[in-house]
Chain A
Amino acid sequence: DQQVKQNSPSLSVQEGRISILNCDYTNSMFDYFLWYKKYPAEGPTFLISISSIKDKNEDGRFTVFLNKSAKHLSLHIVPSQPGDSAVYFCAASEGNTPLVFGKGTRLSVIA
């Protein structure tokens, strides 16, 4: 039973436009959410996070939105750049438990 779901395996966006990556979760006890970015042949790297007490967190071009009632979070990248092309993983945790990851969404930013 998948607790963190990324239903879009891939997404293509034109350079300069907004990229929106979505993530849904089933465990209402999750209290911390993170996004990781992964390039081929490299390990995932942390991108941005949000606590369940917030509904938005912004870091430069990256913004994460959390809708607890819908158990949904999204990552917005504005403007998208070719270097943003990567696989993005959504992850969540509940208290003192390890992160649970989604299956990932492959973002392609087309110049």
Chain B
Amino acid sequence: NAGVTQTPKFRVLKTGQSMTLLCAQDMNHEYMYWYRQDPGMGLRLIHYSVGEGTTAKGEVPDGYNVSRLKKQNFLLGLESAAPSQTSVYFCASSRLWTASEAFFGQGTRLTVV
């Protein structure tokens, strides 16, 4: 029972490079989320999805794009990485909005130099 798996776990990018973070969940959850965690800032929502083929903006969506082509996968893309995107990224999934808790992946530590 893997739960929520994020790939990769670590990555260093040069400014202007692009990359995609992959999130996969095996719990058949409808809802998936991407958060970033920065020192002193807590967890801030980047984008989320309420089901296959849907995406929506969260609190800090600028500079990121997402796709949910399959129910179990939620991809986060950075088209042109900036140093301000250096952060730890967490993917999460949940069965319902609030009646059930969200399950988080282990995180991806991204450094943009």
Question: CA–CA, A95 to B50, complex, Å?
Answer: 14
> Which A residues from 66 to 111 make CB contacts under 8 A with B?
89, 91, 93, 95-104
Q: CB distance B41 to A98 under 8 Å? A: no
A-contact bits for B82-106, CB 8 A (1 contact / 0 none) = 0000000010100001110111111
Q: CB distance B40 to A103 under 8 Å? A: yes
Q: CB distance B90 to A43 under 8 Å? A: yes
Question: CA–CA, A44 to B6, complex, Å?
Answer: 14
A37 to chain B, nearest CB (A): 11
Question: CA–CA, A101 to B92, complex, Å?
Answer: 13
Name the B residues within 8 Å of A98 (CB-CB). 33, 45, 48, 58, 97
Residue of B nearest to A6 (CB): B42
A59 at the interface (CB under 8 A from B): no
Point out which of A32, A98, A104 has the most chain B C-beta atoms below 10 A from its C-beta. Answer: A98
Q: CB distance A101 to B43 under 8 Å? A: yes
Name the B residues within 8 Å of A99 (CB-CB). 45, 98, 102
Instruction: Specify which of B97, B101, B105 is in contact with A43 (CB 8 Å cutoff).
Output: B105
Q: CB distance A34 to B101 under 8 Å? A: yes
Q: CB distance B104 to A45 under 8 Å? A: yes
Residue of A nearest to B39 (CB): A103
B4 at the interface (CB under 8 A from A): yes
Point out which of A31, A44, A100 has the most chain B C-beta atoms below 10 A from its C-beta. Answer: A44
Name the A residues within 8 Å of B102 (CB-CB). 46, 99
Ordered by A's residue number, 17 sampled pairs between the chains whose C-beta atoms are within 8 Å are A34-B101, A36-B101, A41-B106, A42-B106, A43-B107, A46-B101, A46-B103, A49-B101, A89-B42, A96-B98, A97-B97, A98-B33, A98-B48, A98-B97, A99-B102, A102-B42, A104-B42
Lowest 4 A-B CB distances belong to which pairs?
Answer: A43-B104, A46-B101, A103-B42, A101-B43
Interface contacts beyond A43-B105, A98-B48, A100-B45: sample of 10 additional A-B pairs, CB < 8 Å, sorted by A: A34-B101, A41-B106, A43-B106, A96-B98, A98-B97, A99-B45, A99-B102, A101-B35, A101-B43, A103-B40
